[in-house]
Amino acid sequence: MKLFRIAIYIFGLIPLYFGLTGIALGAAQLMGGEPFTNAMDNQFRYLSGVYIGIAAMLFYSAGDIVGRALVFRLTVLAVFIGGLGRVVSYLSVGAPPADMVAGMVLELIAPVFILWQSKVIKEA
């Protein structure tokens, strides 16, 4: 259970990092000097806040793996659905930068954590 808890805290650091940097730097960090709209920046910073919320839910659920199992599973589901959104973007407009492809892969394999959680709960 301890290894699983540590893995969840590490996994939670990813959306926390991107959420904090997204709010601080906005859409400009991805645009490479290209113009962007106020609406795009506003939406980007909002979604960066959602990343922080996802991190908070992961950290919260890691505190009680058995009692907060549903919170964890719903959070992982949200992450997975976000990954599916990235797949739609990939197929619709083309490949994003490599770090975003890596994020997509992590998001799509996130349900493996639910399987691991189930095993940890059975052993508890």
d(CA 86, CA 106): 11
Angle between helices 38-62 and 69-93 (to 10 degrees): 150
**How much is the pLDDT for 50?**
98
pLDDT of residue 124: 85
Amino acid at 36: F
Cβ atoms of 51 and 15 within 8 Å: the answer is yes
Mean predicted lDDT score pLDDT of the chain: 96
**Residue 95 three-state SS:** coil
Question: Which residue stretches of the chain have pLDDT < 50?
Answer: none
Residue 104 Cα distances to 11, 60, 61, 94, 111, angstroms = 14, 23, 22, 13, 13
Q: What was the pLDDT predicted at 23?
A: 98
Question: pTM score, two decimals?
Answer: 0.92
- pLDDT for res 10: 97
